[in-house]
Amino acid sequence: MPETLTKQEVEKGQDPSVTKQYDDSVSLDEKFEDIKSSLTTGYEHNGQLTNNQPVARAMAVAKRSGPDFLFLSNRDSQKFDDLESNKVATIYFHNSNNQDWISVTGETAKTSNDDPRIKEIWSQGTRAWFGDLKDGVHTGGPEDPRMKLIEIKAKFISYWKHDVGALGFMGEIGTAIVTGGVANTGTLRQMKEDEIEQARSKHSSMTS
């Protein structure tokens, strides 16, 4: 049910759509399980800064290990130049079916072309995005010198998960409009760096 907007929230300059859904009462393991289940579907893209301006690109996650992510990319991509000037990137995941979302902010680490993880996560479908020059070198295969990894090691994660279905969502919005309450359709949670380090030690097998 919608929750009543309070004078205190207004006087403190709080955003009630955030404060009324924010929950920090669950364990680290529950937060991490929420994130893992949400990552099974959705849309992701990673954003960097170019000339101090945010840039977003659609990218497929090649591997997730604990709270960290690997992306396969062409060494000639503009994104590598962007990461030279700013190593901080944010990955967004959004499930349009239920509006669940995850935001992961972390520091990027570029790896060399001979990183053994390239062979581990490479698949035949990767060739379609690199092409084969037919010179025996630029084949789109895992040994192709253009093949590089971008690793994003999470430092801050926030996510929202729905608590009501589509009909419940509309009902909540309608009731909030009529009553003057604040719609409460889901749960907002965060994982800060200390929690992420705990999750990494328990769940991550990724090494640079």
CATH code, domain carrying 32: 2.30.110.10
Helix 193-203 and helix 28-38, axial crossing angle in degrees, nearest 10 = 70
In the structure encoding, which two tokens stand for residue 47, read together?
A: 């954003």
Q: What are the Cα distances from residue 141, in Å, to 27, 79, 88, 131, 138?
A: 42, 21, 29, 9, 8
| Closest to 91 in 3D by CA, of 33, 152, 36, 37 | 152
- What's the pLDDT tens digit per position in 162-198? 998 889 989 999 999 999 999 899 999 999 999 999 9
- What's the pLDDT tens digit per position in 42-84? 334 445 545 566 677 778 889 988 889 999 988 888 888 888 8
Q: Which domain holds residue 103?
A: 28-163+188-203
Q: Is residue 182 part of a domain?
A: no
Q: Is residue 171 part of a domain?
A: no
Q: Is residue 91 part of a domain?
A: yes
Q: Is residue 85 part of a domain?
A: yes
pLDDT at 19: 81
Strand bridging mode 101-110 / 43-50: unpaired
* Burial zone of 180 (CB within 10 Å; 0-12 exposed, 13-18 middle, 19+ buried): exposed
Q: Is residue 66 part of a domain?
A: yes
pLDDT at 38: 63
Q: How many domains does the chain have?
A: 1
Q: Is residue 9 part of a domain?
A: no
- Indicate the SS3 state at residue 112: coil
How many angstroms separate the first and last alpha carbons of the chain?
47
- pLDDT bin (cut points 50, 70, 90) of residue 160 is very high
- Contact 158/77 with Cβ under 8 angstroms? no
Q: Is residue 13 part of a domain?
A: no
pTM of the model: 0.75
- What's the pLDDT tens digit per position in 109-123? 877 788 999 999 999
Q: Is residue 115 part of a domain?
A: yes
